[in-house]
Amino acid sequence: MSKPMLRLASYNIQKCIGLDLRRKPRRILQVIEQIGAQIVLLQEADKRLAPRPAALPHFVVNEAGWQAVDLGGAGSLGWHGNAILWKGGLGIELTGQGHLPLPGLEPRGGVWASFRTQIGEFRVLGVHLGLTGGARREQVLKMVQHSRDWTDMPVVWAGDFNDWARQPSFLSLAPEMQFLPAKPSFPSIRPLAPLDRIALSKGLKAARTDVHLAQPAHIASDHLPVWVDLKAE
């Protein structure tokens, strides 16, 4: 009998503004639905200026049967633009959530949530790392520090790591995390760079991972979503 699986995705939605320069939140939800994931980590989910209202409105999320982890405030969907969605009614239970401040000159921060699911309990950490190599290394070190403190369950990292290299220098800073094979996800119209990545700790393994290419993903954002089918190790 095969082990149960859970699909998790990461998607930089560029504030719901597509390559046609139109803000279309429901088009983003269309792409998310196509992926078939049960948990989705988003980047650039809020507008840029304070009070940073949600670019992907809560009512649009709820209409589609998704729930947003309560990470924001003042109408934001997340924190520093990072948000976590999960699909209700599929036997997934949210058991905790929080913020992870990240170092650097730019305002950056990660968000985390823990879930009880059909493949067991695990924690997700969603991030959008900085534009410089030095900042990304400092931020990954901070993520490593916190992940080492989370010994109660496996951890998944996912997000926009903002590094064009297939083997970024920060990989060596997190030897306990298995980064899944990098596949180009940016720019969406002609993917060249593997900016969007997923990494797993012990206790989880990837049955399959890929970049979502189906239309309208090629125009809905400047990034393509990446996803993984998770199994307990």
Task: Decide if 107 is inside a domain.
Answer: yes
Task: Decide if 136 is inside a domain.
Answer: yes
Select from 229, 180, 177 the least CA-distant residue to 203.
177
pLDDT attached to residue 153: 96
pLDDT(51) > 80? no
Give me the mean pLDDT over the 69-81 stretch.
Answer: 89
More confident residue, 4 or 1: 4
pLDDT(74) > 80? no
Instruction: Give the global pTM.
Output: 0.96
pLDDT(72) > 90? no
pLDDT attached to residue 3: 80
Provide the terminal-to-terminal Cα distance of the chain, rounded to the nearest Å. 15
Q: Say what percent of the chain tops pLDDT 90.
A: 89
pLDDT attached to residue 1: 60
Task: Decide if 1 is inside a domain.
Answer: no
pLDDT bucket at 105, cuts 50 / 70 / 90: confident
The string of pLDDT tens digits covering residues 116-166 is 999 999 999 999 999 999 999 999 999 999 999 999 999 999 999 999 998
Task: Decide if 211 is inside a domain.
Answer: yes
Domain that holds residue 65: 6-232
Query: CA 63 to CA 65: how far, in whole Å?
Result: 6
Cβ–Cβ < 8 Å for 135, 129: yes
Select from 224, 170, 159 the least CA-distant residue to 193.
224
CATH of the domain at 44: 3.60.10.10
pLDDT attached to residue 50: 67
Alpha helices, DSSP H, located in 118-201: 133-149
How far, CA to CA in Å, does 100 sit from each of 63, 67, 140?
A: 29, 21, 12
Q: Say what percent of the chain tops pLDDT 70.
A: 98
Give me the mean pLDDT over the 60-86 stretch.
Answer: 92
Give me the mean pLDDT over the 75-96 stretch.
Answer: 92
- How many domains is the chain built from? 1
Helices (H) and strands (E) in the chain, counts: 4, 12
pLDDT bucket at 35, cuts 50 / 70 / 90: very high
